[in-house]
Amino acid sequence: MSATNDLLSNYQHAIDDLTLVMGSKGIFNVEVDGDLMFSKQEAGRHANVGEILELFEERYASGIERYGA
Residue range of the domain that includes 45 = 2-60
CA angle 55, 59, 63 (to 5 degrees): 115
State the pLDDT at residue 23.
Answer: 79
Q: Mean pLDDT throughout 57-69?
A: 93
pLDDT band at 20; cut points 50, 70, 90: confident
Is residue 20 assigned to a domain?
yes
Task: Please count the structural domains in the chain.
Answer: 1
pLDDT band at 47; cut points 50, 70, 90: very high
Is the pLDDT score of 11 beyond 90? yes
Task: Count the residues in the chain.
Answer: 69
Is residue 66 assigned to a domain?
no
Is residue 67 assigned to a domain?
no
CA atoms of 31 and 46, how far apart (whole Å): 15
